Amino acid sequence: MSKPSSLSQPLFLIGMPGVGKSYLGRLVASAMSLPFVDLDEQIETYLKNTIQSHIATKGIEFFRISEAISLRKLDLTLPSIISVGGGCPCFHDNLNYMNLVGKSIYLDIPIDDLLTRYEAMQLERPLMTTDSTTYLTSTYQTRIVDYARANHTVPISSNTEQNVDNIISAIKSLCY
């Protein structure tokens, strides 16, 4: 698929940790000939440290502030696909900011599918301090309210090609 000619804003991919925001975002950006930005990578550059190490030494609240600052420092002069960390939309008015300067797309994965994905891939995340089932279930229940405020929701399945097509269709529906 090609880049929509009227695309003039950044598009933020939001959702639970492990849903595939960065992976799918790179594929979508490539298919649409758009730049891709991973906010977590930008944060690590800004902090000159890994997110996990930063949280361990400075604490989660300082990280959330750094995340909000990094979000607002992004170059938004060109349309791009931007993936953000799972908690980013839920703190410091970040989702309102994203919706003000661009459009947000919630990548929605059923919690059971996410749990299966974590178990199969043995995924670890910076904030996961308990077993993955407890962490993911409580985090999902807390964040779903914020994620629901995205401009569009795309259901995520195990079919990568279909996920990419669905995200591109959502982008086109938001930009025309």
Give tens-digit pLDDT for 149-163: 999 999 999 999 999
Confidence of residue 5 (pLDDT cuts 50, 70, 90): very low
**Residue 129 structure tokens:** 């301090």
Report the distance separating Cα 142 and Cα 31, nearest Å: 33
- Mean pLDDT value across residues 39-65: 93
Give me the pLDDT at residue 122, please: 63
- pTM of the shown model: 0.92
Mean pLDDT of 106-135: 76
How many Cβ atoms are within 10 Å of 36's Cβ, its own excluded?
A: 18
Q: In order of start, what are the domains of the chain with their CATH numbers?
A: 11-171 (3.40.50.300)
CB atoms within 10 A of CB 173: 12
pLDDT band per the 50, 70, 90 thresholds, residue 72: very high
